């Protein structure tokens, strides 16, 4: 949630990008999100034969790598026009991958929750989506506060690595539970 809100500010503050150029990079984030939602769903259905947890774990791991890359860029910023131009290609790819992972996961998540909730899928999804929307409201201001306190974007981007790794751990637990009893759902 913080990627879409803070990536343009990060590019402007750290690399001196013009606002319009930094904002245009959001197109790469959102294009990655669209591609990710389609690709992760396809992979889950066809490659992983309907398994949701393993592809979701891959998404979380990839998201941690992308956030780690942003943290490294923040910790070791390249200054100057030539470095910013080289960073533009790298940041464009990272922006696409950030969207592919950080925005592309929700179809898998929603499907996993609905499949496990069974007959109570509407109630469980309602609660689940409420928690996610609260997170979307709280995460960006918390990210911004970390930028202010640290005086750098390295700490907040690193905190996103931690969030992705926590998600990976939670998903791994779900995957293990499903492997033990793949027919179990909350409706039984």
The tens digit of pLDDT for each residue in 62-80 reads 999 999 988 988 888 765 4
- Residue ranges making up the domain that contains 43: 2-180
Residue 154 lies in a domain: yes
Q: How confident is the model over 126-178, as pLDDT tens digits?
A: 999 999 999 999 999 999 999 999 999 999 999 999 999 999 999 999 989 88
Phi and psi angles of residue 65, each rounded to the nearest 5 degrees, phi first: -65, -45
- Residue found by looking up tokens 């860029």 in the block: 73
Q: Kindly report the CATH number assigned to the domain that includes residue 43.
A: 1.20.1250.20
Up-side HSE of residue 173: CA atoms within 13 Å toward CB?
5
188: exposed, middle or buried (Cβ count in 10 Å: 0-12, 13-18, 19+):
exposed
Q: Could you tell me the pLDDT band of residue 103, with boundaries at 50, 70 and 90?
A: very high
Residue 152 lies in a domain: yes
- Report pTM: 0.85
* pLDDT given for residue 179 in this prediction: 84
**Angle made by CA atoms 128, 129, 130, in degrees to the nearest 5:** 90
Domain count along the chain: 1
**Cβ of 129: how many Cβ atoms within 10 Å?**
14
Q: What mean pLDDT is predicted for residues 14-42? A: 91
> Whose CA is closest to 72, among 168, 163, 153?
153
Q: What mean pLDDT is predicted for residues 99-104? A: 93
Q: 85 pLDDT exceeds 70?
A: no
Residue 188 lies in a domain: no
């Amino acid at each position: 949630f913080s990627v879409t809100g803070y990536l343009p500010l990060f590019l402007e503050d750290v690399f001196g990008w013009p606002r319009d150029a930094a904002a245009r990079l959001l197109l790469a984030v959102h294009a990655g999100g669209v591609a990710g939602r389609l690709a992760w769903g396809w992979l889950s259905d066809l490659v992983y034969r309907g398994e949701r947890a393993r592809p979701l774990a891959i998404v979380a791991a990839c998201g941690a790598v992308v956030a780690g890359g942003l943290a490294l860029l923040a910790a070791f910023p390249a200054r100057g026009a030539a470095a910013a131009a080289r960073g533009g290609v790298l940041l464009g790819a990272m922006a696409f991958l950030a969207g592919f992972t950080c925005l592309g996961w929700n179809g898998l998540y929603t499907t996993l929750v609905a499949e496990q909730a069974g007959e109570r899928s509407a109630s469980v999804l309602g609660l689940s989506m409420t928690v996610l929307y609260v997170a979307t409201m709280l995460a960006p201001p918390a990210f911004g506060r970390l930028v202010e306190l640290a005086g750098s974007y390295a700490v907040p981007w690193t905190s996103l690595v931690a969030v992705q790794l926590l998600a990976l751990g939670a998903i791994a637990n779900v995957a293990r539970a499903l492997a033990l009893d793949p027919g179990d759902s909350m409706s039984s």
